[in-house]
Amino acid sequence: MADLPKERLMSGDLPFAHVGADYFGPFYARQGRSQVKLYGCLFTCLVVRVVHIEIVHSLDTDGFVNALRRFINLRGKPTTI
């Protein structure tokens, strides 16, 4: 088994100082009379076992950047992504 990354071993850092990002989905939700496809963007803290989920409307770069901006506004700017 490989060694853990050095970010996982830093116990003195704040939560969400080092994060990983991943997408999951799609989920279908009703918007009025139509259905829209939604995805989840999962931000995982590498130091503490904490997750933050943002809803994303598409898989393009703009969707991820908007989810990352919402994450930073709530949790603060991470050192490592």
pLDDT along the chain (81 residues), means of 10: 78 84 94 95 90 94 96 93 90
Q: What is the pTM of this model?
A: 0.83
Tokens of 60: 């393009």
Give me the pLDDT at residue 46, please.
86
Answer positive or negative: Cα dihedral of 37, 69, 54, 7.
positive
Give me the pLDDT at residue 28, please.
95
- Domain-by-domain residue ranges, the chain? 16-75
Give me the pLDDT at residue 73, please.
96
Rounded to the nearest 5°, which phi and psi values hold at 28? Answer: -110, 130
> What is the chain's percent helix, strand, coil content, to nearest 5?
25, 40, 35
Give me the pLDDT at residue 49, please.
83
Answer positive or negative: Cα dihedral of 74, 10, 64, 51.
negative
Place of tokens 């989840």: 40
Cβ 22 vs Cβ 42: under 8 Å: yes
